Structure 1
Amino acid sequence: MTALTVTESATRKGHPAGARRRSPYPAWFFLPAAIIYGVLFLAPTFASLYFSLTRWTLFNSVFIGLENFVQFFREPFLVQGLVNTVIYAVITSGLKVMLGMLLALLLTSNIIARGYLRSVVFFPVLVSTVGVGITFTVLMHPTQGMINEGLALLGIDGPGWLTDPRLALISVALVDVWKGVGLATVIYIAGLVAIPKDYYEAARIDGATRWQNFWYVTLPLSRPATATVIILSFIGGLRTFDLIWAMTRGGPGFASDTVASVIYKQYQAGFYGLSTAGNVVLFVLIAVLVVPLTMFLNRKQGHE
């Protein structure tokens, strides 16, 4: 059979000359992931949207429309919980960015036991959040805690870290930073190692100082890592619950309540539909704050 005959045969069958038949087999590789995503994310999401419009128990549900949302926004301490959530997210994400960058710069320099120190910095990330919360609750005890006892040896009267309404939220945020800064450091280390050495060599030839190296080379070229740390830390701060509940349970009073802890308290009281509506509100809050932030960071990154 000649090449001309093959071409005519392919054209008659509806296939362009030289085109290979595309096999549908590779598309099946997406099916397991799609099923898992649908079962574990899409189905619960749409179910929660429906149940947020109902008054439900484990055995029945009654459709009540937007009544749960109206009642949720009438919660007396919801506004304080929203403010606390944003403050907590800003504090934790900001400190993780700054400390993560500083630790990454230190741990990518020529220091002794660099590998060991990297392990030490990352270790708190692996520890249970509830365990960390219980441990620091003991350490921050106003009279018997090791932190205030250490301050007393220096002649300093330690505050009530978790009992003072002005300090409770900030104290938990600092513990969150201690636990999560290791992940930010690892992300920054990966970003710094990926920067080509040619830039530093060119800056050295031009007579740049260490500060100029950092400001004009390291900081701009580590922007992808910075964007990743900001987004992950901010999302984690907005949806935080376990550490706050382990350390203060939203107290003293409602001083350290966040949206997540308010939702859990409603669930404990048996208001399942109301707590489901609160979860939808939290989901929308995270989307409204994080999506524009992500677009802004990516846009600034793309222009440089």
Structure 2
Amino acid sequence: MTATGISGAAKKTIRDLRAKNYPAWFYIPAGIIFIVLFIVPTGASLFFSLTRWTLFDYTFIGLENFAQFFREPFLVQGLRNTLLYALVTSGLKVVLGMLLAILLTGPIVARGYLRSVMFFPVLVSTIGVGITFTVFMHPTTGLINETLALFGIKGPGWLTNPALALFSVAFVDVWKGVGLATVIYIAGIVSIPRDYYEAARIDGATGWDQFWNITLPLSRPATGTVILLSFIGGLRSFDLIWAMTRGGPGFASDVIASVIYKQYQAGFYGLSTAGNVVLFIMVAGLAVPLSMWINRREVKL
């Protein structure tokens, strides 16, 4: 074989390798963005959570920040509040989103308009919603308590009562976010073949039978999506709580994110970074197994 023949074979091999690996080049921009925006900040957070740092220097202290984090009573309370807030908001969004989606996929007047109205709160600024409902929930001059007073009912301190503050914010969160859950459920319900419902009606199935045996199981992918999005959002919630209560009264409505922010304000940067790491581990540790469990139980058409 001549040198020219060898050179031609080598060139052909190189061309084949380039053609084979061509799609892999498309991963490079996404990989660079992922490394810069996720891997590097995550690694830096893990490192600085092991230090006592300021903007200009740091001192390595090992796991002391994490030990102090779990020794602080109000930080542990923030952890409990975070879990409770996520469970309440995600549970209500699943139930109300399903019910509203069934209503808005039925034969009702102005269905398209009502869908738009239901989704509108999702588009409103969270801070704006928080400020508005803070005014509505004022214990003496708020619209809610003034309306209750017309019926002879003395309204409670929605945001000033430690027993009610966290749940009051949670209900506002549900009001703002249930529109997204409803849209996801609507997409899931309209994708179910109508033949199933027609066959069920021919067999004499009631509306409840159709919901329990057709709508509920076959909309499980939508349910899984709503659960994951709302649960993760509840674990990471900060802006609405900060706008309405700033974690008060006292620490009654503090969640992990608000506690972390307060630590930053007080200058405890290492402790607050450790809190961020704990929040990250908690979200990943709960969301990943939940996602795997939901995917295993998914019903396929």
Does the pair score TM above 0.5? yes
| Structure 2 residue 255 is matched with structure 1 residue 258 | yes
Cα deviation, 1:61-103, whole Å, max 9, x if unaligned, reads: 2211111111111112122111111111111000000110011
Aligned counterpart in structure 2 of residue 231 of structure 1, from 205, 228, 234: 228
CA distance in 2, matches of 1:234, 1:173: 12
User: Of 49, 57, 62, which residue of structure 1 is paired with 2:46?
Assistant: 49
For residue 138 of structure 1, what is the amino acid of its counterpart? V
Q: Distance in 1 between matches of 2:70 and 2:120?
A: 40
2:102 is the alignment partner of 1:105: yes
1:128-147 matched pairs, under 5 angstroms? 128-147=125-144
Compare 175-184 and 103-112 and name the one that shifted more: 103-112
Is 2:215 aligned against 1:196?
no
Runs of 5+ consecutive residues of structure 2 not aligned to the other structure: 1-5
**Where does residue 123 of structure 1 map in the other structure?**
120
| 1:288, distance to aligned residue in structure 2 (A) | 1.7
- Point out the more displaced range, 68-77 or 136-145: 68-77
- Alpha-carbon distance in structure 1 between the residues aligned to 2:160 and 2:18: 70
Identity %: 75
RMSD: 2.1
Q: 1:260 to 1:20 in 2, by over 3 A?
A: closer
Structure 1 runs not aligned, ≥5 long: 1-8
- The answer as to 2:37 corresponding to 1:34 is no
Aligned length: 294
In structure 2, the residue matched to 1:242 is: 239
| C-alpha distance after superposition, 1:283-302 (max 9, x if no partner) | 11112222221122112226
Under a length normalisation based on structure 1, what TM-score does the superposition of the two structures give? 0.92
Displacement of 1:26 after TM fit? 2.4
After TM superposition, where is structure 1 displaced by more than 6 Å over at least 4 residues in a row?
12-16
SS at match of 1:288: helix
The corresponding residue for 1:75 is: 72
1:165-199 CA distance string (max 9 Å, x none): 11000000000000000100010011001101111
Identify the match of residue 183 of structure 2 among 186, 194, 202: 186
Question: In the aligned structure 1, how far is the partner of 2:48 from the partner of 2:10?
Answer: 53
Separation of aligned partners in 2, 1:188 and 1:109: 13
Match of residue 3 from structure 2: none
How far, CA to CA, are the matches of 1:137 and 1:203 in structure 2?
48
Structure 1 stretch 223-232 or stretch 62-71: which is displaced more? 62-71
In structure 2, distance between residues paired with 1:205 and 1:162: 52
Q: Is the 8 A contact 2:93 2:178 kept in 1?
A: yes
Q: Which AA in structure 1 matches 2:167? A: I
The alpha-carbon deviation at position 13 of structure 1 amounts to 6.6
2:171 is aligned with 1:161: no
Letter in 2 for 1:76: P
Give the Cα separation in 2 of the matches to 1:171 and 1:302: 35
User: Contact 2:162–2:248 (CA<8 Å) still a contact in 1?
Assistant: yes
* Matched residue SS, 2:267: coil
Which of 144, 149, 154 in structure 2 is aligned with 1:152? 149
Letter in 2 for 1:142: P
Q: Give the SS at the match of 2:59.
A: strand
Residue 216 (str. 1) matches residue 232 (str. 2): no
SS at match of 1:62: strand
Select which of 203, 206, 217 maps to 2:203. 206
| TM-score for both structures, normalised by structure 2 | 0.93
Equivalent of 1:90 in 84, 87, 92: 87
Q: Which amino acid aligns with 1:92?
A: T
Partner AA of 1:205 in structure 2:
I
In structure 1, C-alpha distance between the alignment counterparts of 2:153 and 2:124, rounded to whole Å = 31
CA-CA distance at 1:21 after TM superposition:
7.2
- d(CA) in 1 for partners of 2:19 and 2:25? 13
Deviation at 1:232, TM superposition (A): 0.7
